[in-house]
Amino acid sequence: MKILKVAACLLAMSFAAALRADDKARFDLSGPTIDIRVTRGNSTLPIAQVPNLQPGDRIWIKADLPPSQSNHLILIVAFLRGTTNEPPDNWFTEIDTWEKKTAEGTTVTVPNGAEEALLFIAPETGGDFKTLRSAVKGKPGLFIRADADLNEASFEQQRIEHYLAAMKAVPQDDPKAIQEHSAKLAATLALKPNADCFKQPIDQQVLCLTQSSAPVLLDDGHGQSIAEAISSGPSSDFINAASYTQPVGAGLYSAYVGAVVDLVHLVGMLRTAQYQYIPGLSFPQGSSLSLRLNAPPSFHKPESVIVIGLPAIQKAKLPPLHPHDANQVACLLQPKMIIPLEGAPLVFSSSFAHGLVLRLNRTGVPTDIPLTPDAFEGGLVVAKEEKREPLVDPKPQDDSALPAKPDVKIGTTTDLTITGTVRGYWGFDPFEGPTITLQQVKGKDWKIVDNAQLLAGQENHLTLKGDGSACIEHIALTSGDTKDVDVSFKPAAGKDAKDKLALDVSLKTVQPGGYSLAIQQYGDSERDKVPLTAYTAGIHLDAIKIHGGDKTAVLTGQGLKDVVSIEIEKQTFTPSAESNDDKTIHLQADNGVSPEDGSSATAKLKDGRTMPVKISAEAARPELKLLSFKATSVQKDGALPVSFGTKDDILLEGKLTFVVQTKDAFPRTQTIEVGTADGSVHTVLSLATNNLVLQDDHTAVATLDPLKAFGQSAFGKLQMRPVAADGTPGNWTPLGVLVRAPDITAIHCTTPEAPTCTIVGSNLFFAQSFAAAKDFSNPTDVPSGFAENNFGVPTPSDGANLYLKLRDDPSAVATITLPNPVQKPTSSPSSTSQTATPATEPAPEVQDTTTAPSSESVPAPKPDRPSAPPPQD
């Protein structure tokens, strides 16, 4: 038996591979039409509603031939009972279509023990009936296979043509409708359309789906089981092994291959000298059985015999319908309610299922709602205009005739949801389909449940939740000033998707501002509204970088000017004034935090939104404690010393020494960066360069020559920070203010009563102003752009100290002490001229003020210098 199965499979594969492109497999020729009705008990159905026959059924057959039919045709009804069991002669019935006695049709009864039924159409010749009967009795197995293949091929072709006809009704300029209807048809008819067609231009997509390509038929176990005449018994192994109805391709069928190709070869094997057999695919419509042929009939030897498969003689294979989504809810308020179902393509491509109703499991009436299959809509559709006509059975239909089902909860007319059960007939047999959930009153309590926010200028996705979302007819984004924007919606996916809808909101043409979601439900003239705000797009938060324990952080992204604050571990970080822009902002908080790397912070925007931002946490910064610092001045030869009024001033031409301490051992690879607060100049101190010396494991002494490290143009607030070996900097610690002082070599005064003295030296422009008293009540400012070597200053009020403010630190007052204070003479009331010089030089002699002082002692002030006036007599 195994060898037989292998040989049959190899034979099937060779046939299918050889003739997949054979035009003989195309059934595109119209054949004759046969009228057939079947009666079981007291009920009669047209052939289109009969999926199976049973012994005792009465088949009424009549050839619907044109009046001009010239060739005499005979119909032969044959019943078979197994591949190795020859049927008796009386199982064959001859119908002469040209005789008057057959004008009203012929009734044939299905005999007991029959398993298959075939119909032959043959030309009238001598001995034609006996010849055909002998051929069938001689090879019953081949005709059994032919019958199963004919039925299956007919089912498949009906599915394909149903898809093609429905797609031609779709507007060819609506790509959304094309895809939606193609998807619905594919689900209900178990097809796989050519996905490449959707890549074509819009006006060519339907043409591609219906003419340029053929949809792939997915494996349909229900149709195959109906086509199989023998589901059990001694002949089933042979049929299942040798049948050519399973082509290569893992259960996939194309339009004109598979069972159709194998059928052509199978029937071709029956050819004799007198007859050639050609298969006829059945397309029933009501009681009319239209035939489709792949070759024109011949009335010359060998004459053509059309082979037609009749429904299998077996128990009913009820349709395994099931919901497209197990969690779906249908809306009873919808005028054209659709129940998406799938799993039984023949329900939608044939008329086997009829008299369908939705029985409402609730108290009150009505209890049944008529339904009709609609593959174009993807399920069963309410058909209130249709009246259900129950079959007249010897036994009235009741629940005992239906398969056992779990207990169904009965609801009331006021419940939000109830259940409904699909019921109907499959041929002559009643069947019960799935039970689905139905919403019967409108929903309420709408709200947006995710954290998504509407952004103007782009596509948005939201999740809407309410108490009953199945009855929503339309959703729009609305405001008082703009045109409504349609919002597409569908049931949300996931475990917690009950009563949730996934919304797609396009705001490409919408400005930021206040809006509402207007929700229109079936049967309700008013719209429910959910307020929303459309925010400015373009704000993107990349990451916030922070070191462990820091009070400061750096946020990067786009559109950061709208960020108000960032909350990290319950600490609020706000933007500082430090070099912020639209892509980078620096933030600070009152206390430090140590978040985990990859965790999330919350950003608050000016428009009230909050947005998550990923935290990029780095190692804690190195820390240094400043224990002390000392700035000493370097006294130049010939220059008068300057005393600074604050210890924070650090003279550029001096020496800075400061002591720092670490909590843990001082890393030998750690350096100290010293620079001005504006970042204009900086230098690095390290153990390697010997300007940083360890006092012990935790303490280091740093020395710095500012002029050598920074140059003559360095000034401003000076600060230092530790820098780890990997480049991670610590926090800045202020050291003081780096200042530059003028070099004053001499001060020439005349008399104590004279308003001015003259100072001589270099870099006098480093001074901002001079004053006679410490309170700077009447200062003399050094003009901007001054570059001379002498300058008129106020005469010291105490005769001993001249006060000045430096440009680099105008808040502090510095002092120059005259070596020889200016004193009034006691011997003569005449004015005197006195020159203050450094202590190392002898004081100049007093000059008579009636003559101009020599150029060596008192240089004459230049007329263009805005200094004090020259001494007066």
Stretches in the chain below the pLDDT threshold 70: 1-26, 68-70, 126-127, 198-199, 202-203, 205-206, 209-275, 365-366, 384-409, 411, 823-873
For residue 691, the model assigns a pLDDT of 92
pLDDT at residue 411, rounded to an integer: 67
> Could you give the C-alpha distances from 578 to 585, 677, 687, 809, in angstroms and in order?
8, 11, 31, 22
Nearest to 424 by CA among 489, 359, 503: 359
Predicted pLDDT of residue 838 = 45
Query: Does residue 171 have a cis peptide bond before it, meaning omega lies within 30 degrees of 0?
Result: no
DSSP code at position 209: I
H/E stretch holding 143 reads helix 140-167
Rounded to whole angstroms, the Cα distance separating 647 from 645 reads: 7
pTM summary value: 0.58
The CA distance from 30 to 492, in Å, is 48
> Which H/E stretch holds residue 156?
helix 140-167
Task: Tally helices (H) and strands (E) across the chain.
Answer: 10, 57
Query: What residue ranges define each of the domains in the chain, with the CATH number in brackets?
Result: 2-147+237-243+262-313 (no CATH), 322-439 (no CATH), 444-535 (2.60.40.10), 540-618 (2.60.40.10), 625-739 (2.60.40.10), 747-848 (no CATH)
H or E element that contains 266: helix 259-268
Backbone angles phi, psi at 774, to 5 degrees: -70, -25
| Distance, first Cα to last Cα, the chain | 145
Residue pLDDT, tens place only, 832-860:
344 444 443 443 433 333 333 333 333 43
Structure-block tokens of residue 640: 């008068």
pLDDT digits (tens, 9 = 90+) for 444-477: 999 988 877 788 888 888 999 999 888 999 999 8
Q: Provide the strand spans (E) within 662-715.
A: 671-676, 682-685, 692-694, 699-704
| 239 contacts 144 by C-beta, under 8 angstroms | yes
Helix (H) or strand (E) holding 533: strand 527-535
* Cα→Cα distances 31→66, 292, 455, 531, 772, Å: 12, 5, 62, 64, 127
Radius of gyration of the chain (CA): 52
The dihedral sign for the CA sequence 268, 269, 273, 275: negative
The residue assigned the tokens 């030897």 is 301
